[in-house]
Structure 1
Amino acid sequence: MKADLPELRAARVILRRPTPVDVETRLALGRHREIVEAYGGTFDPNASFNRVDAEAAIRFIEQQDHAWVIDAGCFVGHVRLHGIDWHDKRAALAIGIDDPAYLGRGYGAEAIRLVLGYAFGRGLHRVSLRVLSSNSRAIACYRKCGFVEEGREREAALVSGSWQDDIIMGLLDREFGPP
């Protein structure tokens, strides 16, 4: 299925499969506290980010059946559908912007809309996601794309020593439309 994944294009982003150049770009980006914690991780300022880490990050994208690099002139992150259930016509969405220069500038929303168009065009009825309650930037982006809050798992994630809620959001095919 990976080989059949189409390249998706919008005004400022191209969603495509990874290339070897993406390892170099990912390596140069390193790690940033805001991004690591938004993913639910704990940032260690003394931990290095090396070639093995960059290769693993790109390999993770390559190994997913429905994952794309977000290319805004170069690698800036990735977006993927996972947990696809073709019988119930649903999937989960995950996105990560790894370049802090692209946060809060609409690139994530553009990528999400492309993936939603792909998902609903393939016959899915529902796409859901989970987001940390502290990630207000992501929550605003998801709402901008049409997602609505459906529930909350209290203290579901331990991030940097503090418990955070997970917010569950969803979007149905009939709710998806132009921005």
Structure 2
Amino acid sequence: MASAPPDLQGVRIRLRQPISDDIETRWSIGQHKDIVEGYGGTFDPDAPFSRSGAEQAIRFIRDQPCAWVIDAGRFIGHVRFHGHVPQDRRANLAIGIDDPAFLGRGYGTEAIRLALGHVFGSGLHRVSLRVLATNTRAIACYRKCGFIDEGREREAALIDGRWYDDVVMGLLAREFYAGHDNPNRLS
């Protein structure tokens, strides 16, 4: 996971490295209440999403050791692995679909499966994630990709002065391959 990951082609999407056009697309998408809150952030309707914010978001993806833009004809979000522990052959997954027009339509599932196929094929043994317990759409997507609930961290996230639980989920390489004979399939 040390060098930039290769482009990965799926049925409806391609995972690729960021390009300069992604900045304008990310800026035009803006920020949306449901998405910001799903990430565990606080949405401020009076704080417009700036071009500088878009540049920072794309730079963040580019600077990650194992990250891709999710391209469905244009930028719609990103998927990345972080917290890689080479000794244990494990890492953490994070994904964000920034364009609300692409939520709930299987794009996240396809992106996760493509990315998991790559990292498990490269020798990772385990992938973990944490997600707000209130983010039921994301939890359903992760379960569809084979992730198993491993626990709950009570009151782990403070958002707008309220405490929320995080769900911890994990997936082992053997489980991924046993449950997904074709990592690119959509159902």
Q: What is the TM-score with the length of structure 1 in the denominator?
A: 0.97
Cα distance change on mapping 1:47 and 1:2 into 2, 3 Å: farther
Larger mean Cα displacement after TM superposition, 23-32 or 156-165: 156-165
1:160 aligns with: 160
User: Is 2:60 the counterpart of 1:60?
Assistant: yes
1:23 aligns with 2:8: no
- The residue number in structure 2 matching 1:135 is 135
**Residue 5 (structure 1) shift:** 1.6
**Residue 4 of structure 1, CA deviation:** 3.9
Give, in whole Å, the separation in 2 of the partners of 1:30 and 1:126: 33
Shift of 1:161: 2.6
Decide whether the 8 Å contact of 1:113 with 1:145 is kept in 2: yes
Q: 1:104 to 1:41 in 2, by over 3 A?
A: same
2:150 maps to 1:150: yes
CA–CA distance in 1 between the matches of 2:2 and 2:29? 26
- Matches of 1:72 and 1:126, distance apart in 2: 27
Q: CA deviation at 1:159?
A: 1.9
Normalising by structure 2, we get a TM-score of 0.93
The residue aligned with 1:85 is 85
Which runs of at least 4 in structure 1 moved beyond 2 Å after TM superposition? 1-4
Count of aligned positions: 179
Q: Is the 8 A contact 1:67 1:79 kept in 2?
A: yes
Cα distance in structure 2, aligned partners of 1:4 and 1:101: 28
Instruction: Indicate if the aligned counterparts of 2:4 and 2:66 stay in contact, CA closer than 8 A.
Output: no
C-alpha contact 1:43 1:160 (8 A) present in aligned 2 = no
Q: What is the CA-CA distance between 1:34 and the residue it aligns to?
A: 0.2
In 2: Cα distance, 1:71 partner to 1:2 partner = 22
Separation of aligned partners in 1, 2:99 and 2:8: 20
Contact preservation (8 Å) 1:109, 1:144: yes
1:82-137 CA distance string (max 9 Å, x none)? 11111101000000000000001000000000111011101111000000000000
Distance in structure 1 (CA, Å) of the matches to 2:3 and 2:154: 39
- State whether residues 16 and 68 of structure 2, in contact with CA within 8 Å, keep that contact through their aligned partners in structure 1: yes
For residues 78 and 32 of structure 2, the distance between their equivalents in structure 1, rounded to whole angstroms, comes to 16
Question: Does the Cα contact within 8 Å between 1:8 and 1:15 map onto a contact in 2?
Answer: yes
- Partner Cα separation in structure 2 for residue 133 and residue 169 of structure 1: 11
> Would the alpha carbon gap of residues 90 and 32 (structure 1) be closer, same or farther in structure 2, given more than 3 Å must change?
same
What code does the residue aligned with 2:88 have? D
Q: Which runs of 5+ in 2 are unaligned?
A: 181-186
* Percent of residue pairs identical: 65
Letter in 2 for 1:159: I
Q: Partners in 1 of 2:159 and 2:148 — Cα distance?
A: 24
Structure 1 residue runs of 5 or longer lacking an equivalent are none
Q: In 2, distance between residues paired with 1:3 and 1:170?
A: 24
Give the Cα separation in 1 of the matches to 2:42 and 2:4: 36
Deviations 1:150-179 (A, max 9, x none): 011100001233211011000001100325
Alignment of 1:69 with 2:69, yes or no, is yes
Preserved CA contact (<8 Å) 1:16 1:71: yes
- CA distance in 2 between counterparts of 1:86 and 1:3 reads 14
